[in-house]
Amino acid sequence: MDYADTLPKQRSFGQTTRPDAWWLQPLVVFLGFSAFIIYSTWAAFQGVGDMQTGVPSYWFGGEHGEHGGANYLSPFYSPEFWGVSPHAILGATLPGWFPKWAPFSPAFLILWIPAGFRFTCYYYRGAYYKAFWADPINCAVGEPRKKFLGELSFPLIIQNVHRYFFYLAFLFIILLSYDAWLGMWFTDKAGKGHFGIGVGTIVLILNAVFLAMYTFGCHSLRHLVGGFLDSKSKAPTCAKAYSCVSCLNIRHMMWAWISLFWVGFTDVYVRLCATGHLTDFVFFKL
Amino acid sequence: MNKTVTFRIWRGDANGGKFVDYTTEITEGLVVLDVVHKIQAQQANDLAVRWNCKAGKCGSCSAEVNGMPKLMCMTRMDTLDITKPITIEPMRAFPSIRDLATDVSWNFRVKTKIKKFNPRKPDCEDGTWRMQQEDVDRVQEFRKCIECFLCQDVCHVLRDHHKHDEFIGPRFLVYTAALEMHPLDTEDRLAELKQSQGIGYCNITKCCTKVCPEHITITDNAIIPLKERVVDEFYDPFAWVWKKLRPKG
């Protein structure tokens, strides 16, 4: 007799003897992630129209003192390779090889990196396997499918690429910190920069900080800086780095949610300012 | 003051069974195992239940209380809602023997297949080794395991998908982590972890961590670090190059 035949039969989907609201956690995760995915997709597509009108809805500021001379770029659009804001590294004209029929938004070129980092993140994997795929929908609750491949074979074996997304996500922390730094400089009519702090500056700084707290608590980073060693006493720098990353890693889930919310909020704030729905308050300007 | 409680206990064996209600009185300070014993003494003398230490250290009284894997001896009655019947059933990842007793011998067979501890040559002439405390701190967490197999029970790969032939389960990933990360050990277990022991089946639901009565951070400290070591060995070309180039010693 096969060993599996001696085991209790698999329960049907949602079947459990748990009396608590086990469905609540996956539901909250489902709604939270769905809201972010829908919003970020909408925000990325806004750039298609911006490229046609030449007026960015993802950047708030003015190089000649307009809008208080602020310089806030949405994190969904940073780094901006081709685009209509002053941040565009390669200008507003798309290269000749880019197909004319294809819609283009500056966000399309970069959003796949943070999306890939989060999609392959160990915390997110566990959360969305439950919330979106019900595999399992929650601990000790029946599943909808009998077949299970796990991350052992295609397609989910691709999740092993996570550390490569980390390398790219690390670059984003540097770029978004630089954007926050640029957000501290307000240009006057003569084009001269003045150091200052506005609400948008704080929003951009917090965005970089929260993303850094999430990114530097990454499980792959924890392994790469010291987790791979069995004797950390022989490598004190690795030991120190390992304990720093472990410290953030303990609250990886919390930072994942805070940074997810805040990056979305940062885009909302910049967009509302840029489209004239909100006035940015500047605390001081030197 | 005495209170009345109803326990809905699964009665049966490998051929089938059903839930039977037992109503009894409880006093302050009892745990679930006390109440099961009371029911066994007064109402169901033939109720099979495995137990030993009553102190959360032997791992014998593992069962599912209100649907979640728990040690009955460590589940206080005042943490449960006694206005509704409390469900007690055997672990679902193992074959039923009778009532609340299950056959967990599969776990012991799995353990024999994991490569044993293989220390490096002794550091001193008297045959002893020298280690730094910080080097063994990490594996000491794993040695808290009492082998109650609650993590195996809640793991859906075993519980629902019955991958017992292809996946060793969280308990033995913790065991392997304790050996693999030991500063003295020289054995390489990564190929087995990837292939016959199926670490790739784990999809990080963290249910094992949630139910561990010893609060071992199974997923974050044992399984994910092992997954990362498997990535080093089998999936990351940069790691292969780095391994060749890095300074030895």
pLDDT at A6 over 70: yes
The answer to whether residues B24 and B43 touch, using CB atoms and an 8 Å cutoff, is yes
Q: Could you report the per-residue pLDDT of A67-89, keeping only the tens digit for each?
A: 778 999 999 999 999 999 999 99
**A11 at B interface, C-beta within 8 A:** yes
B124 to chain A, closest Cα gap in Å? 18
pLDDT at A235 over 70: yes
The answer to whether residues B100 and B48 touch, using CB atoms and an 8 Å cutoff, is yes
- pLDDT classification of B70: cutoffs 50, 70, 90: very high
- A156 to chain B: which residues are within 8 Å by CB? 203
Q: CB-based burial of residue B237 (10 Å sphere; 0-12 exposed, 13-18 middle, 19+ buried)?
A: exposed
Say what the pLDDT of residue B243 is: 84
pLDDT at A172 over 70: yes
pTM: 0.94
**B232 at A interface, C-beta within 8 A:** yes
A17·B106 Cβ contact <8 A? no
Q: Which B positions 48-107 lie with beta carbon below 8 A of chain A?
A: 64, 66-69, 81, 84, 87, 89, 92-96, 103, 106
**Which among B79, B50, B47 is positioned nearest to B66, based on CA atoms?**
B79
Say what the pLDDT of residue B2 is: 81
**Which among B173, B145, B169, B140 is positioned nearest to B58, based on CA atoms?**
B145
Percent of chain B scored above 90 by pLDDT?
Answer: 95
Say what the pLDDT of residue B248 is: 62
A136·B181 Cβ contact <8 A? no
Of A92-96, A171-175, A181-185, B46-50, the one with minimum mean pLDDT is: A92-96
Overall average pLDDT of the B59-80 stretch: 97
Q: Spell out the domains of chain B, with CATH numbers in brackets.
A: 3-102 (3.10.20.30), 105-245 (1.10.1060.10)
**Which among A107, A102, A103, A81 is positioned nearest to A92, based on CA atoms?**
A81
pLDDT at A63 over 80: no
More confident residue, A190 or A87: A87
**Of A219, A231, A233, which is closest to B224 when you measure between CB atoms?**
A219
- B200 to chain A: which residues are within 8 Å by CB? 150-153, 157
Overall average pLDDT of the A218-240 stretch: 95
Overall average pLDDT of the B30-48 stretch: 97
Overall average pLDDT of the A178-207 stretch: 94
Overall average pLDDT of the B42-60 stretch: 97
Among all residues of chain A, which has the CA nearest to that of B166?
Answer: A152
Among A59-63, A119-123, A151-155, the range of highest mean pLDDT: A119-123
Say what the pLDDT of residue B119 is: 96
Q: What's the Cα-to-Cα distance from B176 to each of A192, A198, B185, B216, rounded to whole Å?
A: 62, 53, 11, 14
The answer to whether residues A33 and A26 touch, using CB atoms and an 8 Å cutoff, is no
The answer to whether residues A83 and A92 touch, using CB atoms and an 8 Å cutoff, is yes
- pLDDT classification of A92: cutoffs 50, 70, 90: confident
Overall average pLDDT of the A130-138 stretch: 96
Say what the pLDDT of residue B27 is: 94
Among all residues of chain B, which has the CA nearest to that of A7?
Answer: B95
The answer to whether residues B169 and B151 touch, using CB atoms and an 8 Å cutoff, is yes
Q: Could you report the per-residue pLDDT of B98-126, keeping only the tens digit for each?
A: 999 999 999 999 999 999 999 999 999 99
Dihedral through CA A92, CA A97, CA A98, CA A99, nearest 10? 140
**A239 at B interface, C-beta within 8 A:** yes
Q: Which residues contact B223 (CB under 8 A, 6 or more apart)?
A: B170, B173, B174, B177, B199, B202, B204, B208
Overall average pLDDT of the A15-25 stretch: 97
Overall average pLDDT of the B90-96 stretch: 96
Q: Which two tokens stand for residue B151?
A: 């993590």
Bond from prior residue into B85 cis (ω within 30 degrees of 0): no
More confident residue, B2 or B73: B73
Overall average pLDDT of the A172-188 stretch: 95
Overall average pLDDT of the B60-68 stretch: 98
A157·B93 Cβ contact <8 A? no
Say what the pLDDT of residue B186 is: 96
Q: Which two tokens stand for residue A145?
A: 């499918």
Say what the pLDDT of residue A206 is: 98
Overall average pLDDT of the B149-175 stretch: 97
Among all residues of chain B, which has the CA nearest to that of A253?
Answer: B220
Overall average pLDDT of the A202-214 stretch: 98
**Which among B131, B133, B31 is positioned nearest to B88, based on CA atoms?**
B31
**A230 at B interface, C-beta within 8 A:** yes
pLDDT at B249 over 80: no
Percent of chain A scored above 70 by pLDDT?
Answer: 100
**Of A139, A160, A224, which is closest to B207 when you measure between CB atoms?**
A139
B205·A130 Cβ contact <8 A? yes
**B165 at A interface, C-beta within 8 A:** yes
Say what the pLDDT of residue B244 is: 86
Distance from C-alpha of B202 to C-alpha of B158, rounded to nearest angstrom? 10
pLDDT at B147 over 60: yes
pLDDT at B33 over 90: yes
pLDDT at A1 over 80: no
